[in-house]
Structure 1
């Protein structure tokens, strides 16, 4: 019988379980102390160093920074070649202010190739023709529709911007079709692909605010396997009625060969993927052709319990051979506009 002056032994044994001794290399949780910065401005590097051992997603952000810096620093010992870095992002990222960061990365040749969705292509050009505005996630859809405003999360895009896009892009499609037809049967027969279309549009926009203007200038390929899934698809659809029976042909097979060949020939491959869906799988599947990328950073809020590729963690990609067995990887469960500026500030822009 337990003594009235002592707790039950079973309770004591359950609560006061003896711990094993922690290994010497175990990392202690660290706290961000703003007192350390008294008298001077706080830098992005200060925040990174203060957050990387904080725990939870702060530590995941710190891991992303470490992995990307490793991608940047690596050189092939024989040839001096750098890591081939594939950057992927969904269309909403271009609609947001992250577009400026993507543009800067491409302008300064920090990435080797881009994969995006149709919206991630057209919204870049549309922003050169008209502005996107802040709104609210709870803005009434019916009211916006009556006003000709299209909502993307808590942003709105006036529908006039898409009309301006049509006025700009259709004459270019006309010219591309003319060049395609004129080249038939010649040695230089034109075979348009999504990446060639984007390259051409980047040239035609001739606007330094555009991501794809800089991709054109720096000859960085931009892949979009779902090019028709957006306003560009609408324009291509309308264009078929205008030009019938002639039709612009866009070959996706040449592009899959091109991106897969880039991955196969890479001395080392790194993936930085913001969001999920087709952009995430397209990059990962290209890296499968080389038995996996050496480095991978996923940034998205999708969960894995539904079996979707969008929510799949890096360990699942390892099982498919999309990341190497000993590959360095992290998934950051944070909405990308919240963390990617801090990540870039501590990686690519650190020495800017």
Structure 2
């Protein structure tokens, strides 16, 4: 074979002109403009373009006066994203929060005792000896949980004083009313009448301390009832003209939001920020188009959902800045 004959295989060429925008990134000449930088993500490609799509979808949520559900896993509150979530609630940009028990316990702890920056490569056995717990590159001394136990026991006495059976949303609201920290998500939610749903309330220190609290003879009948909250989520959602979901992380909070929106025919908008892999068939890795197949997100002619495959601390503040605070 003549080597020149291979050229059509290597460089086949095309006569087709594509209609898409030119791939182009931000031009750093002159002063840096955050809004222009985020707008340039639309033509940057890869996950940057998904972030630009997310900002656009969040803008449309706000323009349509959608009821916005924010779902988050506890590592969001472990990190500096706690202050970002508190700001969204404080400024009235979020209508419903769905989260995990770890978010609640860590939000309370941070009102009195901060978490500390650590490192990923710490000696785990040495940390255990020192009474330090590691969350990635964040360190949490065990004395935080000793303090939390005392705080919650005092709270439980008041919380269960009149009714032995309460709901997770009541727990979150009344606990938030006891806190004095403007960066507390629970406090901001209580002050701005934003319900916090936590369907797995026992899956953290709250559950541990409730277990010990119930060992007392006079508290053996107290408990947490979750179905009433589920009923409220479904009933309230069906009354909303338009809903939008922002799921930071996945698991139970994300699924609770899309599942309860199923009862109203699906959410109108959805933004996922997650790192789970789709290939294992788990909910945590499931993309939004899978939720469309279940009726949990509406199918529309215009793209109404996107997924950003990225770690939340990198992109969630940019989404919030671009869609909520750049006006």
- Could you tell me the TM-score, scaled by structure 2's length? 0.96
Supply the distance in 2 between the matched residues of 1:52 and 1:229 (Cα, whole angstroms).
39
Supply the distance in 2 between the matched residues of 1:322 and 1:20 (Cα, whole angstroms).
42
Q: Is the 8 A contact 1:129 1:165 kept in 2?
A: no
Question: Whose Rg is larger?
Answer: 1
Aligned residue pairs total: 325
Following superposition, the deviation at residue 244 of structure 1 comes to 4.3
Distance 1:85 1:179, change over 3 A: same
| Structure 1 unaligned residues grouped into runs of 5+ | 75-81, 182-190
Distance 1:285 1:172, change over 3 A: same
Q: What's 1:347 paired with?
A: 323
Question: For 1:43, which of 26, 33, 55 is the aligned residue?
Answer: 33
User: RMSD in angstroms over aligned alpha carbons?
Assistant: 1.4
Following superposition, the deviation at residue 27 of structure 1 comes to 1.7
Q: What's 1:79 paired with?
A: none
Q: Is the 8 A contact 2:111 2:180 kept in 1?
A: no
Q: Is the 8 A contact 2:248 2:274 kept in 1?
A: yes
Q: Secondary structure at the match of 2:323?
A: coil
Superposition pairs of residues 139-150 of structure 1, within 5 angstroms: 139-150=122-133
Question: For 1:64, which of 54, 60, 63 is the aligned residue?
Answer: 54
Following superposition, the deviation at residue 222 of structure 1 comes to 0.3
Superposition pairs of residues 68-217 of structure 1, within 5 angstroms: 68-74=58-64, 82-180=65-163, 191-217=165-191
Following superposition, the deviation at residue 211 of structure 1 comes to 0.7
Q: Is the 8 A contact 2:66 2:243 kept in 1?
A: yes
Q: What's 1:13 paired with?
A: 8
Q: Is the 8 A contact 2:75 2:103 kept in 1?
A: yes
- Could you tell me the TM-score, scaled by structure 1's length? 0.89
Following superposition, the deviation at residue 310 of structure 1 comes to 0.4
Q: What's 1:331 paired with?
A: 307
Which segments of structure 1 move beyond 3 Å, counting only runs of 4 or more? Answer: 243-246
Query: In the TM superposition, what whole-angstrom CA distance separates every residue of 1:190-216 from its partner, at most 9, and x where no partner exists?
Result: x51000110010011133221111111
Supply the distance in 2 between the matched residues of 1:285 and 1:20 (Cα, whole angstroms).
47
| Structure 2 unaligned residues grouped into runs of 5+ | none
